[in-house]
Amino acid sequence: MSDVTAWHTLFGNLSAHSLPLVRAWQHPSVSEVIAAGAGLIAVIAAAALVALVTALGKWRYLWKEWLTSLDPKRIAIMYVIIAFVMLSRALIEGVLMRAQQAAAIRTTGFLSPDHFAQLFSTHGSIMVFFMAMPFIAGLINYVVPLQIGARDVAFPLLNSVSLYLTGGAAGLMMVSLVVGEFSTGGWSGYPPYTELAFSPGVGPDYWIWAVTLGSIASTLSGLNFLVTILKMRAPGMHLMRMPLFCWTSLCTAILMIFAMPPLTVATALLALDRYLGYHFFTNDLGGNMMNYANLFWLFGHPEVYILILPAFGVYSEVVSTFSSKELYGYTSLTLATAAIAVLSFTVWVHHFFTMGQSSDINGAFGIATMAIGVPTGVKIYDWIWTMFEGEVRFTVPMLYSLAFMVTFVLGGFSGIILAIPPLDFQVHNTVFLVAHFHDMLIPGVLYGLLAGYHYWFPKAFGFRLNERWGRVAFGCWVAGFYLAFMPLYVLGLSGMVRRTQEIFDPAFRPWLLIAFCGALLLLCALSCLVIQLWVSIRNRAQTRVFAGDPWDGRGLEWSLSAPPPDYAYAVTPQVASRDPFYDAKRRHAAYVRPTRYEDIDLPRDSAIGLIIGATAALAGFGLVWHIGWLVIAGVVGVVAAVIARSFARNIHRTVPAAEVERTEDRWLRAVAEALPVSRALETTGANQGLAKVTS
C-alpha cells in the first residue's frame, strides 16, 4: 500500500491544506487571517474550558451532575448554554457581514467572496438550527413539565439523546471553523449550486450532516414533548386549563414531528446526489431542483412557526403575570395557536413565488399567507387587552414583550407586501426580504427567548438577574435592531441584492453605515447580557428567591422552590382552575405541607445519550471527509449503544421519603421566614420569592 492510499484510508480527504491556519500561512490576506483567527479562537476557547474544569477539579461533578443527567431541568440548561454559545458566534458573523458591506462600496472590502458566502451560510444555519432551536428545546424542557405538574418528560433518555444530537451537530458547525470550510450555499442550501458539480469542497457536506443531525434531534424532541403534554398532565389539568406556553409548546411539538421529516428527506437526497451520484436535484439526467425547493420549504415554513409559537407562549405568560391579570381571550389564543399551526403547512410556496409556477398557484399561496396573519393579529389584541387596566410593571421581560408587539406588527406589514406575488417579484432576493424576516424573527423569537430567560431564570437558579444591566441590554437589542434592519428595507426597495459581497452604488453608503452601527449595537447588547450574568452571579446573595415565587406567578411552576428539587413535585398537584397557583395563594391553600411523603422514582443517570451524540457526530465528520472507518465506527457505535441500553434494567433510582421530607421542610421553613413583598418592590432586594397576596 502506498503512502497516499494509507493516508487516504486513515484520514480520507483531510490534508494540511484543510486547516485555515495553514491556508492563512501560505496565502496571507485579511480574509484568510480572519478565518484562521476564528478557528484559533474556537480552539483556544475549548482548550481554556478544559483547562478551567481541570484546574477546578470539576470533571467528576460535571460528568455526574450534568453530562449524564436525565433531569429535564438540567438538560434544559445545557440546551440554553449551547444556544448562547452559538448565538455569540453567529452574531459576530452578522457584524462581520455588515462591516464588509459598509466597507466594500466600489471596492473589494476585506473579505473574499467565498469567505463572505460562508459567513451568511453559517450565520443563517446557526441562528435557526443551533441558536433558536436549542433555546426553544431548553425553555420547553424546563417549563412545560413543571407547568403541567409532571416530574419529568415522557422519555427521559430520548431527551438526552436529542440534546446530544443537537450538541454533536453544533459541534460539527464549530469543527468546520477549524478543519476545512463551510458551505457557501446559504442556510437553505439550494441545489444545483450545492451539488458536486458546483461545490466540490466539503462545505455543503458539513451543512448536510450538521442539519441532518439537528433535524433528527428536533423530531425526537417534538415527539417527547407531545407525549409529555398529552399523557403526563396532573389530575385536573385539562387541556383548556393548561398555561398558554404549554399550548404553544404542544403545537410546536406537532409541527416538529411533521415538519422536520421533509428537511431530513431534502438533506438526505442531496447527500445521495453528492455521495453516490444520484440525480435528484442535478441539472442533468432528469434531476429536478424544484423538488428540493418544495421539500425544503415544506419544512422551512412550519419551521418559522416552530420558532415563533413558543415565543408567543412566553409573551402570554409574561404579559399576564406582569399585569397581574388573567390572560384575556384564553380560548381565542389557543384557537389562534392551533390555526397558525395548521395554516403553516399551507403557505410554503411563498418562499419561491418567482420560480416558475402558474400565477393561480401563486395567488392561492398568497391568500393563504395573508390568512395566517389573522390569528396572529388576534393574539396581539389579546395581549393588549390583557394589559388593559392591569397592574402593569415594566420589568425586563415585559419590556421585551412590548418591543415585540410593536416591532412584530411592523414586520407583519412588510410580510403582507411580500405575500402579494406581483409585489414580491419586485423585491425578490433583495435585502428587503432580509429586513422582513429579521423583523419577524428577532422580535418574534429572540426577544421572546430573552423574555423567557429573564422570567424563568430565578426559578432555575434561585436568584434574579440584574435589572439594570437587563435594561441596558434590552435598549441595545431594540435600538440595534432598528438601526441594523430598517435601512435594509430602504436598500431593498432601491434594489440592493441580498448576499452581495461588493456594493456598486455609492448612494447606498449612508444606509449601510447606519446598518453597521446597528450591528455594533447588537454586539453591545450581547456583551451586556454577558456582563449582566456576571454581575448577577456576583451579587446573587442579595437577589435570592429561594421561596420560589418572585413575580406573583400564576402557573404551577411557581409553587416550587427556586431552584426546584430534582424530583420537582413532592406530591402530585391537583388542579382545579386555569391559574392554579395564583388562585391557591388567594385561597391561602398554597405552601401547605402534605400529611405524608412517599418515595419518589426518578430515572437513573445515563451516558448513553452522550455516547450516541458523540458517535453520531464522529460519523458525520467521517462522512464529510470520506473517512470510511470512522463512518462505520460511528454508525456501529450508535446501534451498539441503543442495543446495550435495551438490556439495562436498573434504570430507576429512588429518592427516599425521608429525604423528600427534609428537602421540603427546609423550603417550607424558608417560605415561613420570608417577608412577602408587594409588586412595587419585586425588583428590589426585598424580594425573597414570596408574593404579598392582595386580592
Contacts with another protein by CB under 8 A lie at: 154-155, 219, 223-224, 226-227, 230-232, 257-258, 260-262, 264-265, 268-269, 272-273, 276-280, 284-288, 291, 295, 298, 601, 639, 643, 646-647, 649
Ramachandran category for residue 495: left, alpha or beta (phi over 0 → left; psi -120 to 50 → alpha): left
**Closest to another protein by CB, 502 or 601:** 601
CB of 628 to another protein, least distance (A): 19
Backbone angles phi, psi at 600, to 5 degrees: -120, 130
CB of 157 to another protein, least distance (A): 12
CB of 237 to another protein, least distance (A): 13
C-alpha cell at 190: 439550494
Distinct helix (H) and strand (E) counts, the chain: 24, 2
**Closest to another protein by CB, 406 or 648:** 648
Rounded to whole angstroms, how far apart are CA atoms 219 and 246?
18
**Closest to another protein by CB, 568 or 674:** 568
Q: What is the DSSP letter of 170?
A: H
If 0-12 CB within 10 Å is exposed, 13-18 middle and 19+ buried, where does residue 103 land?
middle
Contact 695, 586 (CB under 8 A): yes
Closest CA to 688 of 463, 459, 396, 452: 463
**Closest to another protein by CB, 279 or 393:** 279
Rounded to whole angstroms, how far apart are CA atoms 472 and 458?
19
Rounded to whole angstroms, how far apart are CA atoms 143 and 459?
10
Length of the chain: 695
**Closest to another protein by CB, 262 or 452:** 262
Rounded to whole angstroms, how far apart are CA atoms 263 and 666?
49
CB of 209 to another protein, least distance (A): 17
C-alpha cell at 46: 475549548
Ramachandran category for residue 105: left, alpha or beta (phi over 0 → left; psi -120 to 50 → alpha): beta
**Closest to another protein by CB, 477 or 569:** 569
Contact 69, 605 (CB under 8 A): yes
The gap between the terminal CA atoms of the chain, to the nearest Å, is 84
Rounded to whole angstroms, how far apart are CA atoms 552 and 542?
19
Rounded to whole angstroms, how far apart are CA atoms 664 and 656?
12
**Closest to another protein by CB, 193 or 278:** 278
CB of 200 to another protein, least distance (A): 17
**Closest to another protein by CB, 478 or 638:** 638
Can you tell me whether residue 357 is helix, strand or coil?
coil
**Closest to another protein by CB, 272 or 535:** 272
**Closest to another protein by CB, 153 or 484:** 153
**Closest to another protein by CB, 289 or 690:** 289
CB of 647 to another protein, least distance (A): 7
* Sequential DSSP letters for 226-265: HHHHHH-PPTT--GGGS-HHHHHHHHHHHHHHHHHHHHHH
Rounded to whole angstroms, how far apart are CA atoms 624 and 630?
11
CB of 227 to another protein, least distance (A): 4
Rounded to whole angstroms, how far apart are CA atoms 527 and 522?
9
CB of 550 to another protein, least distance (A): 33
Question: What's the angle, vertex CA 326, arms to CA 322 and CA 328, rounded to 5?
Answer: 105
Alpha-carbon distances, residue 136 vs 140, 411, 428, 666 (angstroms): 6, 21, 30, 32
Q: What is the 3-state secondary structure (H, E, C) of 423-450?
A: HHHHHCCEHHHHHHHHHHHHHHHHHHHH
**Closest to another protein by CB, 196 or 535:** 196
**Closest to another protein by CB, 284 or 360:** 284
**Closest to another protein by CB, 646 or 695:** 646
Sign of CA dihedral 682, 685, 689, 694: negative
Backbone angles phi, psi at 684, to 5 degrees: -100, 175
Contact 227, 189 (CB under 8 A): no
**Closest to another protein by CB, 224 or 369:** 224
Rounded to whole angstroms, how far apart are CA atoms 169 and 614?
9
Contact 469, 535 (CB under 8 A): yes
CB of 16 to another protein, least distance (A): 32
CB of 588 to another protein, least distance (A): 31
Look-up of cell digits 470550510: 181
Q: What is the DSSP letter of 110?
A: S
**Closest to another protein by CB, 218 or 559:** 218
Closest CA to 329 of 375, 379, 403, 393: 379
Backbone angles phi, psi at 195, to 5 degrees: -75, 165
Question: What's the angle, vertex CA 424, arms to CA 422 and CA 426, rounded to 5?
Answer: 80
- Return the percent helix, strand and coil in the chain, to nearest 5: 70, 0, 30
CB of 328 to another protein, least distance (A): 33
**Closest to another protein by CB, 175 or 208:** 208
